[in-house]
Chains A and B, each alone.
Chain A
Amino acid sequence: DAKTTQPTSMDCAEGRAANLPCNHSTISGNEYVYWYRQIHSQGPQYIIHGLKNNETNEMASLIITEDRKSSTLILPHATLRDTAVYYCIVRVGQDEKLTFGTGTRLTIIP
């Protein structure tokens, strides 16, 4: 079973920052937080992952709370191409298995 809770859907205006929350209150000390997204009719795509420090790459930023019980994925300047389902996943680093929940359907509005 997925160990995360995400809102079912969110809207964001184009050009604004999209902030996607994820609750993972039962996360263990050796579990990482991963984010994938799935654009319509495509396979999921890796975005970012982190353990306890905030992370940033060319796609997004990941903010993890100090107690690690929740995190936020930030898309700094959302575009229409960011419309997708976003999945927050927790797993042990060496465990390659991904357990997907139902994710958050993010719609970017022109």
Chain B
Amino acid sequence: EAGVAQSPRYKIIEKRQSVAFWCNPISGHATLYWYQQILGQGPKLLIQFQNNGVVDDSQLPKDRFSAERLKGVDSTLKIQPAKLEDSAVYLCASSPRLAGAVYNEQFFGPGTRLTVL
């Protein structure tokens, strides 16, 4: 079974520029997450989608970050304009939504490392 795919793997931009990340979840997974991981810290949830609807975006800086999940499959995360403090690894994860399951394991992609200069 193919895992979660992300691209690009690395991106270097200057502050105030725009950047977009792409995620392709595991086939059939209803739930998709974007996390931000700053160096030395654990991942922090930015946004959670259930199919193509937003479940939780409480920690997404909406003045500069946006995300969409068209047709409930692939997703893109955009930053516009980027700030120095946005330098981080952006992780995408997906999980199935199995009926009656107490827990649905999250499968993570390799992440995109963003450097803002």
Separation in Å of the A85 CB from the closest CB of chain B? Answer: 8
B40, B43, B45, B48: which has the most chain A beta carbons within 10 Å? B43
Q: Which A residue's beta carbon lies closest to that of B105?
A: A46
Which residues from chain B contact A34 at a C-beta distance below 8 Å?
103
Interface residues on A, range: 20 to 34
A44-B93, A97-B48, A98-B106 given; 19 more Cβ-contact pairs under 8 Å = A41-B110, A41-B111, A42-B110, A43-B4, A43-B91, A43-B108, A43-B109, A43-B110, A43-B111, A45-B108, A46-B105, A46-B106, A96-B31, A96-B106, A100-B41, A100-B43, A100-B44, A102-B42, A103-B42
Separation in Å of the A62 CB from the closest CB of chain B? Answer: 13
Binding site for B on A (CB under 8 A): 2, 32, 34, 41-46, 49, 85, 87, 93-94, 96-103
Report B65-117 residues with CB < 8 Å from chain A CB: 91, 93, 95, 102-111
B56 contacts A by Cβ under 8 Å: yes
